[in-house]
Amino acid sequence: MKVKKDWWKNFFNEIYLTTDARSIFNTSLTQKEVNLLEDLLGLNKNERILDLCGGYGRHSLELAKRGYRDLTVLDYSDYQIKLGQRLAKQSYLDITFLCRDARASKLRGGTYSTVFIMANSFGYFLDDRQNIRILSEAHRLLQKGGKLLLDLVDPHYVKKKLKPLSWHEATKDVIVCRRRHMEGDVIKAREIVLCKRRGLLRDGLYCIRIYDKGKIKNLLGRVGFKGISIKKDISLHTRKKDYGFLTSRMIVTASKAKS
């Protein structure tokens, strides 16, 4: 299975919003994820927060509804950024949306008190040096003493329980079929999306790199993070189904040195 190195550039469009709707448009799940953010990071409503690789900003939208005042969502997908802007405008929420590359955001360093990457949105690059660039950029953007949170797939779950074949009905009209296998610490997957009315919507390949505790600690330490803490086997879905990479999570927190 040969995955293109830049598969992620065009993958997260309107089809993705359909195939993963059971998670990314799940209000209850988003609220639980934001509860986790608040609890683990001890957030206060005056912090400057960066939602990195944030898609349409579902977590920032929820934070804004809770009274957080300084929120920025950065994602490469122009489609999702525009969707987020529309949703924020509809709800009269003040959020900054930026369509940029997370490896080189062009934002001023030392700007944010908190950076988070939620819902397994880290590890998309086949070349792991590019994933490290995202961690390095997050470190650069944080203020001294600032906090980072990574929401990753639990490696134990992947190795023991991830099904090589899966399918689910995304809507009454759309069926999503996936074939997945591991090559080293990278999961490669083929996704076929079929619509009863329109036929084949997608036949594409994607990948995600899986990090165990030792490796993610090492990478975070290499770019300068301190105080690294890891919580494993976190499940936020209420039903016991295969939700792919969001079935079981590993939550990593770290901080930038104060001096």
- Is the residue at 51 inside a domain? yes
Q: What is the pLDDT along the chain (259 residues), one digit of tens a residue?
A: 799 999 999 999 999 999 998 888 999 999 999 999 999 999 999 999 999 999 999 999 999 999 999 999 999 999 999 999 999 999 999 999 999 999 999 999 999 999 999 999 999 999 999 999 999 999 999 999 999 999 999 988 888 887 899 999 999 999 999 999 999 999 999 999 999 999 999 999 999 999 999 999 999 999 999 999 999 878 876 666 655 667 789 999 999 999 7
Q: What are phi and psi of 126, to 5 degrees?
A: -65, -40
Which residues form the domain of 113? Answer: 7-155+211-256
55 Ramachandran zone, left/alpha/beta (phi>0; psi -120 to 50): left
Which CATH number fits the domain that encloses residue 19? 3.40.50.150
Using the structure block, give the residue that is written with the tokens 């490696």.
Answer: 155
Secondary structure of 68-86 as H, E, C letters: CCEEEEEECCHHHHHHHHH
Q: Nearest CA to 255 among 144, 152, 103, 120? A: 144
pLDDT of residue 142: 98
The count of structural domains within the chain is 1
- Is the residue at 43 inside a domain? yes
pLDDT of residue 13: 94
- Is the residue at 191 inside a domain? no
- Is the residue at 171 inside a domain? no
Q: Under a CB-based contact definition with an 8 Å cutoff, are residues 224 and 110 in contact?
A: no
Mark 158-171 as b/e (b = at least 16 C-beta within 10 Å).
beeebeeebeeebe
pLDDT of residue 241: 62
